[in-house]
Structure 1
Amino acid sequence: METTYNYEEVTSNNSQELDLLAIPNTDLWLSNIQHAFQGICSAPIPVFSGSLKGDSALNVGAAPLKWDDGALHEVYVPMGLATEIRNTVRFADGRLPHEEEVEACMVIVHMILARDGSNLDGESKDFSKTIPAKIFNRLLGKLSRRTTGAQLATAKQLIDSLEIAGIIKVDRSYCPGEYSYSYSINEDLLKRARVHVPLKEADGYRMWSRQQMFNELSSALLWSYPHYTLPDLAQVKAIAVQLDANKVMRKGKRCIYALTNKSKRAMEYWVARRANDRHSVRILDEDIEQYQRLLKSGLPVPHDSALCPRVTDGFNRMASWIRELILIDGEVTCELDFNGLHPHMLYGLFKEELPMNEREYFENVLNATGDIHGGVAAELIRLGIAKDLRKKGKITSMDVADVRGYVKKEHLAYFNRRSVSMNNKEIHQVYRQMPVFMALVKKTKLGRDGHKGTSKLLFALEVGLMTEIIRKFYAAGIHFIYVYDALVVPQSKVGEAASIMNAVAGDLGLLTRVKQSQSLPSAFAA
């Protein structure tokens, strides 16, 4: 007989178990995570200690790709921005900006636009971006050290002048150790097409020193890089033409190659359409321009940061349809990732503290088929919530596959949101059937990091999981591309790699298992 779950029954059965004071704090959870990984730890990967200069030993076709020097040498800003700055920016004493200051203002706008206004936790604040003052000071500190005789503005003066000119907006809400000022761009400028503008500063602008520290993840990537073969520009453009002609949808967005016929009018049309509905269109021209910059500027050195343990490099920030064209060891590749990793990681972390009926609900209902996205989708349909989603235009049909697509997108950010924001999401009607689990999730948001405490836990789990997997890849000689919570491997290594990933997940008590995606070159070969 099928078991059904009712929210009121679950709540009443567990009302005595929601003592938040008895729930462990984030630091204890992080300690538990470290202890869990110590129990399955493989031999560590030797940490890279060499120097990265000149060519990277990574080929684009037959040509070597050089290393990027880590400096900002060009900005990606709205068209006509330099003229706008010259015409509108004035300093407190009424003087016009020097050309060095015009360039510095463009760097500021570039930094604000760098992540397209999106926060890592999936929340958006009028497309604004929080940036610590020290970032601007590091980038623009050289202005105050000029010896040309001209007295140039500080980073703060430049920001104030840009705000007065109406080019940027500044929210000065600030709490030490929690959040900094946030910045956004004038809406009219946001609607303009963006262009790449080279900077005149010979040495570029840098936030960090030239010295680079490496960890196991970045060292393993440097070990894998020489085995990549990157597509040349002609190959990339040929695939873009096919994606556009076949009206391909990727991640819910229609792929548009606007400049196929060198039509600026087409480009302007699609930029304007995306501005009105930024979730419906992917302009492939911008992805190609980004790839051209990588070929021109060189390969970024893989690195983590003080704020996030994830390693960033030139490939996990590359458009996925271009990344799928890369060969590893001369073979086409396949991307392997876990099904619903974030909900599974949180469940694995809290499982021992959950009552039995909540464990049964997660394992026998939500994850009954091994597909957490599909299980939550089925519950949305059963509870009648999917009908509301269709009325609101968030899904186009009541088909499970359509609802599952919506759930998959929501899972990317749902648990990282503020508690109030979580409560307002439709999938909350499913997870509220597990009140102890949700109380534990919300407990992670009560520390000094606020709602970002959840991201801190998830990143710690994710990076620990991927590091252990990559240790085993290194021992087995499997070269890979790292895409945060996914790994791209050669087709001949798919079975072995998936087996390793599933074994490590199982050792950590995670219920999720690997799924694989079809490589793009093979799809077009058909």
Structure 2
Amino acid sequence: MLSINEEFQYFNEKDCNYKEFLNCQKLLKDINTLTVPKRSVRLLSAKKIEKRLLKISSDKLLAVEYCLVFLSNLVHIEFISNNEKWKSLSSKVLREQIPGSDGTYKKVIEFLLDPIFSFSPLIEVKLNDRETETYEVGARSKQYRLSSLFFSNKVEIYKISNSYHKKKRLDIYLTKIIESKNNLIVTNLLNIYPKLTLPVENEILAEAKRLVKMKYRNGKGKKLTILNGRKKTDLVDQQRIYLEDSLKLFRYLTENGFKYPSISGERSGGRVYDSINMMPRFIRNLIKIDNEKTIDIDFKCLHPNLAVRLYGGTKKYITHELIKDKLEMELNIVKEEHLSFFNKKTQQMKQSVLYSYYKTNEPTMLKNIIADKNKNNYKITSQKMFDLEVKIMTECINRLNKVGIDVLYVFDALLVKCSNQKAVEYTMNQVVSEMGIYTNVG
């Protein structure tokens, strides 16, 4: 680990504010703490697997900790209401987390996939219809999930103790801070974290009960449900989000401090992920800024209007309601389909309920999108839209910060103090108008 003087010198050389770094540290997760599946530490400490662990590293403790790092990547997906629980993990990220010129991370995966724990592995890898791993070079990473050994959804905290491992994690962390120092979204988040008041669980429960009575559904059309001891399989409609899962995710994201905001790669357009925008919306909306209630402000039907801007469309101010009326279908179906329509492969787009609308009303735009997918990659469309979305939100945050308004970034939306609502709405509308994008907030 670096001494205080070495740490200060490191930041000084990188032209970073050391005082700001120390302030952030008080609110952020300890980089040497892992949230791992319950039982995983005990299973990996078993005497009978010691020889297998030594194939990963001659240092048994380091081998165990590398395995725990991999497992920690899969924990949060267990709290999301997703029946299959798969998580994409890129080799780039794994090489960073589990360093080694000899392909150490591959040895970890091979070990975790081996059914040596009561004839069961610790993880599973997703297979396609041909019974091969789901992987496309430059397009799709392999997907993993925790095995049935961990279906209890319980977690435990592990403190990393191997000195070499701690040094490597500190290097990664410091690099992340240096890389993000010029990212306005990240610096805005770090500035606002000390001003936040998170809801306590009793508040969340009360809000959930209120929303259940209102038959609340989230943006994906999933119904909020309180299990109260019932099994999920007992419920006929499986399109649900569960309070119990939401609380587990909330604890995971906040109990030991906020995760340092993470800037996504080129394929995700540089979107920023943090503890706030990863939590369920109905919980996030209970957060207070400067002890004041907040309001969520987002653009109407942003991505379809971004597609119009990027691919030569002609329609202005496309809305979900407009398409609902044209296609005579339920609004939640249109909203849900729009979440993935532009990210689909060409053949999948043609099978979508939205395809007929765009073929009739935006034939040139649709032709240009398909041509771009065929020339580059089917994900190029969403990549370009995410990139433009990030540019929009960065400019909105830039203007608001200049007049003393800090905001919480939630991808294409901002969570702000109620007293700042009008100022934020004005700025967001102004930015998209100047960028030639025909949508507004609402």
Scaled by the length of structure 2, the TM-score of the pair is 0.76
Q: Taking structure 1 as reference, are residues 127 and 486 closer, same or farther at Cα in structure 2, changes over 3 Å only?
A: same
* 1:54–1:66 CA contact under 8 A, matched in 2: no
| Cα deviations by residue, 1:305-348 (Å, 9 ceiling, x for unpaired) | 33441122221112212211122233212111111100101102
What secondary structure, in the 3-state scheme, does the structure 1 residue paired with 2:295 have?
strand
Query: Which deviations, in whole Å up to 9, do the C-alpha atoms of 1:87-129 show, x marking residues without a partner?
Result: 9x969979999676566445434424644699xxxxx997644
Structure 2: stretches of 5+ with no match in the other structure: 1-14, 127-131
Deviations 1:476-520 (A, max 9, x none): 2222111010011222221221111111111111111100xxxxx
Q: CA separation in 1, counterparts of 2:258 and 2:210?
A: 27
Identity of aligned residues (%): 24
2:129 aligned residue: none
Deviations 1:153-182 (A, max 9, x none): 943223223334253125546555444434
Distance 2:134 2:206 in 1: 47
- For residue 108 of structure 1, what is the aligned residue in structure 2? 70
How far residue 83 of structure 1 moved from its aligned partner, in angstroms, is 7.2
Segments of 5+ residues of structure 1 without an aligned counterpart are 1-46, 58-64, 119-123, 145-152, 260-265, 364-369, 387-402, 516-526
Structure of higher RCO (CA pairs closer than 8 Å, 6+ residues apart): 1
Q: Distance in 1 between matches of 2:286 and 2:161?
A: 33
Choose the corresponding residue for 2:409, options 482, 486, 489.
482
Q: Residues 353-432 of structure 1: matches in 2 within 5 Å? A: 359=314, 362-363=315-316, 370=317, 372-381=319-328, 386=329, 403-432=330-359
**TM-score (normalizing by structure 1):** 0.65
CA pair 173-182 structure 1, distance change in 2 beyond 3 A: same
> Aligned runs of 1:335-354 on 2, under 5 Å?
335-351=296-312
Query: Does the Cα contact within 8 Å between 1:73 and 1:199 map onto a contact in 2?
Result: yes
The aligned counterpart of 2:224 is: 255
1:51 deviates by 4.6
Distance 1:474 1:53 in 2: 20
Asked if 2 retains the 8 angstrom alpha-carbon contact of 1:244 and 1:256, the reply is yes
> Which residue is equivalent to 1:161?
111
Pair 1:285-2:232 in alignment: no
Distance 2:279 2:428 in 1: 23
Report the counterpart of residue 68 of structure 1 in structure 2. 29
- Code of the aligned partner of 1:431: Y
Q: How far apart, CA to CA, are the structure 2 residues paired with 1:428 and 1:334?
A: 34
Does the Cα contact within 8 Å between 1:91 and 1:161 map onto a contact in 2? Answer: no
1:303, distance to aligned residue in structure 2 (A): 3.5
- The 1-side partners of 2:403 and 2:64 are apart by 52
1:210 paired with 2:174, answer yes
What does residue 187 of structure 2 align with? 219
Flag the 1:341–1:178 CA change in 2: closer, same or farther, 3 A. Answer: same
Coordinate RMSD, CA, aligned = 3.9
In structure 2, what is the equivalent of residue 523 of structure 1?
Answer: none
Distance 1:169 1:488, change over 3 A: closer
**Aligned residue pair count:** 400
The CA distance in 2 between the partners of 1:48 and 1:499, in whole Å, is 33
For 2:206 and 2:152, locate their aligned partners in 1 and report how far apart those are by CA, in whole Å: 23
| Structure 2 CA distance for aligned equivalents of residues 94 and 316 of structure 1 | 37
Larger radius of gyration: 1
Which residue of structure 2 aligns with residue 196 of structure 1? 155
